[in-house]
Structure 1
Amino acid sequence: MSKNMSVVNIETINEDNRKKLEEQSFEEAVLALTEKLELANSLLKTMLETTHEFLVFGLDRDYRYLSFNNRHKEMAKDQWGADIAIGTRILDIINSNEERDNLRGFFDRVLAGEQFSSLEEYEGDSGNVIVGKNHWAPIKNSNGEIIGILCFMQDVTEHRSFIKEMLKEKNSLDQNMESLSFYDQLTGVYNRKFYEKELQRMDEEQYYPLSIIFMNINGMSKINSEYGHAVGDILMRKAVQVLKYGVRGDDVVARYEGDEFVVLMPRTEGAKVERALERFKKSLDEVKVQSIKLSVSFGFYTKYDESDNTESVIKAAQRQLERQKELDYI
């Protein structure tokens, strides 16, 4: 063999070719993955922006924005006066302590693994009030670890009846009920906050005569003491279910405080109210838990026109309730 002739190492050439092929395959795989990620991001962005009925946003565990659609961005500007961006901490742009604490409570529930809905009111700088149904869910990684928060908010401002329909569709209380800000957690009927809003709304000529009925479940303290709060809660829920399903579609049933409940009956007076109370009493007489028989008392008063002072009507109904309690429960 000549001195100038080099020896060709076949194994070295094959190894070099193999490395080049691997590098080429890796680059192609990275390119393909990048294209897929870009497509996925494009699809996600399109979905977020085409869900016109929803305001959508996602947060990380530190409450910083991961993503949001334009509707939520506009709402943040209108409601909180802030121009949000990816990385903005949502709690830092909310001035109201009550709203900030309320949202933090929802966030922490999601980060603890809950998935639920809530009903909230938002007021923008322009003074407009938005009623939104929020759908909350945790964001998880491939290992199932919770890494963030997802919220879809549906604007139901123009559908106030939707609020009542939500409750009618529920045949039993569940964990979602406690997050609805217009509802009482224990009984599932409206709370005092909603009652006061509805009373203000109904305080108009088209709803007169407006009757306000108060109902008290008698002896609850004694029942809770002798049988336990769990039994007392069951008894209260059964009583309220009877009341709730005995009213008309326009009536409002709410928990006023403790073991006292209130019913708003628009365009109703006198004999009509008496008949409704008789109907309630007849159904409530059948309610029993263990050996405990239910005892309830009613009191009502009617506002006939705008000249009647609403607060005086409420106090008159409560005085009648107190007198009736003395007769019904000794």
Structure 2
Amino acid sequence: MKARAGASGRAAGLSGRGRAGEFSGERAVSGINPVISAGAGVEPPVLFPFSRAGFCFPEGENSASRRFKGTVKSVNSGQRRCDLRRLVDALPEDKIEAARRLLEILLVESGELLPEGLVERLSLIERIVDFLPDGVLAVDREGRVVVWNRAVEEMTGVRKEEVLGRGEYAYAVPFYGERRPILVNILLGNGKEWEQKYEKIERKGQVLIGEGFAPCAYGGRGLHFWTLAAPICDEEGNLLGAVQCIRDIGERKKMEDELRHWSTHDALTGLYNRAFFEEELRRLEKGRSFPVSIIVCDLDGLKVVNDALGHERGDELLRRAAKVVAGCVRGSDVVARVSGDEFAVILPQTDRKTAEEVVGRIIEAVERDNAQHPDFPLSVSLGAATAEDASRPLREVYAEADDAMYRDKLARGAEPHRAIVRVFKAALAEKDFVAEGHTERVKELACMLGKAVGLSRSNLDTLRLLADVHDVGKLGVPEHILFKPSALTGEEWEEVRCHPEVGYRIALSSPELAPVAELIRQHHERWNGRGYPRGLCGEEIHILSRILAIADAYDAMTSERPYRPALSHEEALEELKRCAGTQFDPRLVEIFVRLLSEKGET
């Protein structure tokens, strides 16, 4: 059923429910039936949401009426075409189909034939455009705004009532803070020189696609956007205007920036990574930044800290070292983590003398940091080298600095050992794996016996280091086993018997402790071959391990343990003598007992 609007300007509904709506001369709805009122959520009088001169991109009112008449005929003949549909067709592909399914509405003035149900769906097109997640705006051929959806309102803070019908680039102000062409204007042939203002821009047929940044959007927070502009044409291909879709890609840009950042930075320390370091070397070789100096910094004992105390403690050392080194150089210098325990610094326009001064500053900064962390100190080895001009590849300079670092490590002798020992002592004490003062007492007793049997100074130094770290393997034994007050089960004994092997692996992983790794593994072997872990006997066991075993056993017997009280000095000596020839080297026990008797231990 169809009806024609009367002379009074009324448009009759076709559902048989009576009057659908009445339009005043100003296109205000003066009457509306219950179906439309409920569906659109409005009561008269209300301004008609879409003017002919708005969505139809007219050259004038008369041409708008002519096009509407032709459109109505097309709809009635089943072709379902309208100027609004051209607007939807110009949207990005991922939005078109949803809009097309809902776009079954024509805007007409009174006196035209209306298809059944048209008026009831009058507000759908506004809702379609308004609730698209992307911003949608459109201008006519003269650059006047005819569409401004809710997403654009949110981006700009400007309501559509304030901007519809405005031209002369006023709509660019809430995006850019100035009147300037935007993509729809460029598409229409205005302001082509503004293309360079976009980060990316490309033309695909009649469509322009770009990316850019609008600094004034979102109240000055700014908007990273992807945008598409497409022409709006009539059935004959005449240009009526253009539509622009604006998509907020802030989260995508943030993710891209993060990916770009972490492609050149170390995730743990925040410093540059090896790839960026090498790229910077290649770049500087072609530049004018000579002299260029390079400093290499190695974090002593990191692997053994990781193995013994866990990677969390090792990571703590790395972050502290990174902060110390970065704090000693200029912001323009490159500080990179180039391997697990090694940092490198590139110092452009820096001669050798200045580079050595930087090395000195790093050493002082490490000392200040260690004063704040006495139980978990940093120990670093440093080397520097300089290229005075471009005649030397910077890779060679880097290798020279690395060699200098290793020479520094050797020259510092026992200093790296002492730093690692302090770390282990603190860790063992923190977990209460050994009685207070146990390590120092064992070291004193072992050195007393070592001197008595004529050990060299070098062997005595090794014996001291062994005494300091012989218990490191206990860090791998669960606390509930070490401190169990009752007898251990067979499985628990197996856990305990593994600690010399664990200590061996820990020490072997560190250049500083490697000299005592095998000695740690042997310190629970027995003279009669019934010890662990390998069942060595007699002089197969290193003399330093045999000495340590006696000193360790004596101090253990005279110290209180969770599972037994302490023995007296005399009781401990008697036990040593009883086990001489089975557990201990009998000759060494004899000398040890005599020394303690002469010393008058009580």
Kindly provide the amino acid, as one letter, of the partner of residue 195 in structure 1. F
For 1:308, the equivalent position in structure 2 comes to 392
With 315-324 and 292-301 compared, the bigger mean Cα shift is at 315-324
Higher strand share: 1
Q: Does 1:326 align with 2:387?
A: no
For 2:210, the equivalent position in structure 1 comes to 71
Q: Does 1:199 align with 2:281?
A: yes
- Asked whether the equivalents of residues 211 and 264 of structure 1 are also in contact (C-alpha less than 8 Å), the reply is yes
For 1:212, the equivalent position in structure 2 comes to 294
Report the Cα offset of residue 240 of structure 1.
Answer: 0.5
- Between the aligned partners of 1:212 and 1:276, the Cα distance in structure 2 is 11
Would the alpha carbon gap of residues 28 and 277 (structure 1) be closer, same or farther in structure 2, given more than 3 Å must change?
A: same
Report the Cα offset of residue 311 of structure 1.
Answer: 2.9
- Asked whether the equivalents of residues 284 and 294 of structure 1 are also in contact (C-alpha less than 8 Å), the reply is yes
- Asked whether the equivalents of residues 116 and 179 of structure 1 are also in contact (C-alpha less than 8 Å), the reply is no
Report the Cα offset of residue 304 of structure 1.
Answer: 1.0
**Aligned pairs, number:** 212
Q: Does 1:17 align with 2:28?
A: no
- Between the aligned partners of 2:120 and 2:374, the Cα distance in structure 1 is 72
Q: Deviations over 1:149-199 (max 9, x none)?
A: xx7x8xxxxxxxxxxxxxxxxxxxxxx589521111111011111111211
- Between the aligned partners of 2:379 and 2:260, the Cα distance in structure 1 is 27
2:267 alignment partner, SS class? coil
- Asked whether the equivalents of residues 178 and 185 of structure 1 are also in contact (C-alpha less than 8 Å), the reply is no
Would the alpha carbon gap of residues 116 and 218 (structure 1) be closer, same or farther in structure 2, given more than 3 Å must change?
A: farther
Structure 1 residue ranges without an equivalent (≥5): 1-14, 57-67, 73-84, 86-114, 118-133, 137-150, 154-175
TM-score relative to the length of structure 1? 0.55
Report the Cα offset of residue 271 of structure 1.
Answer: 2.1
Q: Does 1:222 align with 2:304?
A: yes
Report the Cα offset of residue 231 of structure 1.
Answer: 1.3
Would the alpha carbon gap of residues 36 and 303 (structure 1) be closer, same or farther in structure 2, given more than 3 Å must change?
A: same
Higher Cα Rg, which structure: 2
For 1:190, the equivalent position in structure 2 comes to 272
Report the Cα offset of residue 211 of structure 1.
Answer: 0.7
For 2:334, the equivalent position in structure 1 comes to 252
Q: Does 1:269 align with 2:388?
A: no
For 1:95, the equivalent position in structure 2 comes to none
1:293 alignment partner, SS class? coil
- Asked whether the equivalents of residues 213 and 301 of structure 1 are also in contact (C-alpha less than 8 Å), the reply is yes
Q: Deviations over 1:89-116 (max 9, x none)?
A: xxxxxxxxxxxxxxxxxxxxxxxxxx97
Would the alpha carbon gap of residues 299 and 53 (structure 1) be closer, same or farther in structure 2, given more than 3 Å must change?
A: farther
Kindly provide the amino acid, as one letter, of the partner of residue 17 in structure 1. R
2:270 alignment partner, SS class? coil
Kindly provide the amino acid, as one letter, of the partner of residue 324 in structure 1. D
Would the alpha carbon gap of residues 294 and 31 (structure 1) be closer, same or farther in structure 2, given more than 3 Å must change?
A: closer
1:247 alignment partner, SS class? coil
Q: State the superposition RMSD in angstroms.
A: 3.7
Would the alpha carbon gap of residues 237 and 49 (structure 1) be closer, same or farther in structure 2, given more than 3 Å must change?
A: farther
Would the alpha carbon gap of residues 201 and 30 (structure 1) be closer, same or farther in structure 2, given more than 3 Å must change?
A: same
Report the Cα offset of residue 239 of structure 1.
Answer: 1.1
1:53-92 to 2 correspondences below 5 Å = 53-55=198-200, 70-71=209-210
Report the Cα offset of residue 281 of structure 1.
Answer: 0.9
Kindly provide the amino acid, as one letter, of the partner of residue 208 in structure 1. F
TM-score relative to the length of structure 2? 0.31
For 1:148, the equivalent position in structure 2 comes to none
Report the Cα offset of residue 53 of structure 1.
Answer: 4.5
- Asked whether the equivalents of residues 182 and 190 of structure 1 are also in contact (C-alpha less than 8 Å), the reply is yes
Would the alpha carbon gap of residues 49 and 188 (structure 1) be closer, same or farther in structure 2, given more than 3 Å must change?
A: farther
1:146-161 to 2 correspondences below 5 Å = none
- Between the aligned partners of 1:116 and 1:290, the Cα distance in structure 2 is 44
Higher relative contact order (CA 8 A, sep 6+): 1
Kindly provide the amino acid, as one letter, of the partner of residue 123 in structure 2. A
Would the alpha carbon gap of residues 196 and 53 (structure 1) be closer, same or farther in structure 2, given more than 3 Å must change?
A: farther
2:385 alignment partner, SS class? strand
1:99-178 to 2 correspondences below 5 Å = 134-136=253-255, 176=258
- Between the aligned partners of 1:194 and 1:320, the Cα distance in structure 2 is 23
- Between the aligned partners of 1:324 and 1:282, the Cα distance in structure 2 is 16
1:281-292 to 2 correspondences below 5 Å = 281-288=363-370, 289=373, 291-292=375-376
- Between the aligned partners of 2:126 and 2:381, the Cα distance in structure 1 is 73
- Asked whether the equivalents of residues 356 and 384 of structure 2 are also in contact (C-alpha less than 8 Å), the reply is no
1:323 alignment partner, SS class? helix
The percent of aligned pairs where both chains have the same amino acid is 27
- Between the aligned partners of 1:33 and 1:216, the Cα distance in structure 2 is 64
Would the alpha carbon gap of residues 325 and 19 (structure 1) be closer, same or farther in structure 2, given more than 3 Å must change?
A: farther
- Between the aligned partners of 1:188 and 1:298, the Cα distance in structure 2 is 21
Would the alpha carbon gap of residues 26 and 322 (structure 1) be closer, same or farther in structure 2, given more than 3 Å must change?
A: same
Q: 1:294 aligns with which of 378, 384, 393?
A: 378
Would the alpha carbon gap of residues 69 and 229 (structure 1) be closer, same or farther in structure 2, given more than 3 Å must change?
A: farther
- Asked whether the equivalents of residues 198 and 210 of structure 2 are also in contact (C-alpha less than 8 Å), the reply is no
- Between the aligned partners of 1:326 and 1:69, the Cα distance in structure 2 is 65
Q: Does 1:239 align with 2:321?
A: yes
Kindly provide the amino acid, as one letter, of the partner of residue 279 in structure 2. K
